[in-house]
Amino acid sequence: MTPYDAIIIGTGQAGPALAARLAKGGRRVAVVERGRFGGTCVNNGCTPTKTLIASAYAARLAQRAADYGLRVERPVAVDMARVKARKDTLVDSTATSVEHWMCALPNTTVYRGHARFVDAHTITVGADTLTAEWVFIDVGGRPYVPDLSGLEQVSYLTSESMMDIDFLPERLLIVGGSYVGLEFGQMYRRFGSRVTVVEMGPRLIGKEDPDVSDAVRDVLAAEEIEIRLDAKCIALEAAPSGALLRLDCATGAPTVTGTHVLLAVGRVPNTDDLGLREAGIETDARGYIKVDETLNTSAGNVYALGDCNGRGAFTHTAYNDYEIVADNLLNGTNRKVSDRIPIYGLFTDPPLGRVGMSEVEARRAGYQVLIGKMPMSRVARAREKGETQGFMKVLVDASSKQILGVAILGVGGDEAVHSLLDAMYGRLPYTAVQHGVRIHPTVSELIPTLLSELAPLA
Ligand SMILES: Cc1cc2nc3c(=O)[nH]c(=O)nc-3n(C[C@H](O)[C@H](O)[C@H](O)COP(=O)(O)OP(=O)(O)OC[C@H]3O[C@@H](n4cnc5c(N)ncnc54)[C@H](O)[C@@H]3O)c2cc1C
């Protein structure tokens, strides 16, 4: 038995920062990691996808070179091995630096292997048994593989195995028209694959407002990505080309064929093999660890952070979980997970920056909603860059004048959306933002104008 003050399971987006803060405060810390340091974001998520998306954006610009008055030989050649090598370099250096950081921390021992609870204070890692007053679970999740008919007949890719390919799939079939599927879809189309996105629901990114979904669909369709919606009964079959996907679409041919299949239909938490029952830690029906507002589990000394608690599915939410837990335990604050305003991006091109409520949510919550909406074609910077797709939308509560939600689908939308976030955290009336002066020419400079055009939501 090796006693510690704290055991941290997983080195994703919450664990390392928490380990560093505890260790620097003089606590004896054990960090356990069974895979690559840095977790999903670094190895299979944000870092590699955004690096690949940057290559895809460069390819797209080269393909559009004539629009900017440049002569570039067509077709633009994409060297997938070099694209992957660029991605690998960034991923490897980030994962290595997280590992070195953890190993160099004072008062900290790093264990490599699978952690499993014996009881709420005791963990095994291989032959080692560790005990601690506090245990912090940051085990993240993995791609969900649905029980599709015929799946055993074809080989398929997930967001994880996509990271290993260094060639161009000729015809890529993507099952799932949500954030991960759409980022990969546009990226591979720009690299040169023919891409079909198959979605069971009636529209893409079904959590977004219909106008956002429709605009994203139009962007993708304009790049000749085939989109099949309402695919209610998806089934796979082996085919000479690779795979055949049977659909049950409302319109169009009932099958599509491809050389490769990517499953992008969500994620499941890595909680099934942790021994949670032995520790008295409860999960919900989908396996997410139940936590209270301070991220405390049903075992009082154990906290669950990051994707595994079901309270967020992003790097920034996992990191914020660390801040909440550390501040409450070490600084005596009373921070709560519900203080967080939802914010996230879809990193297609143009990107979607989202914060707060959607139109549908604001209406359902009973607000009297004012709406401002403006096409990106009115934004001088967007016109100058030749990137005018999309729109900006802001929702305001008519009685308090506070901002309820924002969607910016457009060039720079992932950055510009933050310019309303602080006003939301500060509970400022929208007029405080409307009367501010901003830099010309930027996307953000049009936000005061957008706010001056508010009208009741029909
Ligand atoms: C394709 C893709 C793109 C994404 N893009 C973005 C993006 O652009 N922006 C964004 O904010 N988010 C993005 N995400 C989501 C983001 O990656 C996750 O929300 C984030 O990584 C969650 O961090 P985490 O700390 O909860 O867990 P993870 O990062 O998943 O880390 C969990 C760690 O725990 C380890 N582990 C698990 N079980 C055990 C065990 N029993 N013992 C020891 N170690 C264990 C794992 O090996 C892993 O290293 C993306 C995800 C995917 C899949």
Atom index in ligand 1 nearest the CA of residue 14 equals: 25
Average pLDDT of the residues in 259-288: 98
pLDDT of residue 260: 97
pLDDT of residue 232: 85
Structure tokens given for 54: 């940057």
pLDDT of residue 254: 84
Q: Would you say the CB of residue 192 lies under 6 angstroms from ligand 1?
A: no
Pocket test for ligand 1, best of 139, 158, 289, 352 (most atoms within 8 A of CB): 139
Helix (H) or strand (E) holding 92: helix 80-104
CA atoms of 283 and 288, how far apart (whole Å)? 5
CA-closest candidate to residue 349, choices 155, 142, 187: 187
Task: Report how far apart the first and last C-alpha atoms of the chain are (Å, whole number).
Answer: 65
Q: Would you say the CB of residue 182 lies under 6 angstroms from ligand 1?
A: no
Residues in a beta bridge with 17: none
pLDDT of residue 87: 98
Q: Would you say the CB of residue 314 lies under 6 angstroms from ligand 1?
A: yes
pLDDT of residue 250: 61
Q: Would you say the CB of residue 343 lies under 6 angstroms from ligand 1?
A: no
Helix axes 210-222, 179-191, angle to 10 degrees: 20
Is 249 a residue whose pLDDT tops 70?
Answer: no
Q: Is 440 a catalytic residue?
A: yes
Summarised one tens digit per residue, pLDDT across range 13-64 is: 999 999 999 999 999 999 999 999 999 999 999 999 999 999 999 999 999 9
Summarised one tens digit per residue, pLDDT across range 253-265 is: 689 999 999 999 9
Atom index in ligand 1 nearest the CA of residue 306 equals: 26
pLDDT of residue 1: 82
Burial label for 243, CB within 10 Å (0-12, 13-18, 19+), is buried
Q: What are phi and psi of 366, to 5 degrees?
A: 90, 10
Q: Would the CA dihedral through 94, 95, 96, 101 be positive or negative?
A: positive
Band of pLDDT at residue 247, cut at 50, 70 and 90:
confident
Summarised one tens digit per residue, pLDDT across range 310-361 is: 999 999 999 999 999 999 999 999 999 999 999 999 999 999 999 999 999 9
pTM: 0.97
The residue among 247 and 123 whose pLDDT is bigger is 123
Strands laid side by side in the 403-409 sheet = 343-346, 352-356, 403-409, 391-397, 369-375, 455-456
Pocket test for ligand 1, best of 9, 36, 46, 180 (most atoms within 8 A of CB): 46
Is 252 a residue whose pLDDT tops 80?
Answer: no
Mean confidence (pLDDT) of the chain: 97
Average pLDDT of the residues in 90-111: 98
Structure tokens given for 118: 């014996």
Contact 59, 65 (CB under 8 A): no
CA–centroid distance, residue 13 to ligand 1 (Å)? 7
Is 236 a residue whose pLDDT tops 70?
Answer: yes
CA atoms of 250 and 176, how far apart (whole Å)? 17
Structure tokens given for 193: 């694959």
List of residues 6+ apart from 253 with CB closer than 8 A: none
Average pLDDT of the residues in 128-157: 96
pLDDT of residue 233: 85
Band of pLDDT at residue 251, cut at 50, 70 and 90:
low
CA–centroid distance, residue 385 to ligand 1 (Å)? 34
3-state SS class at 344: strand
Structure tokens given for 94: 């980030």
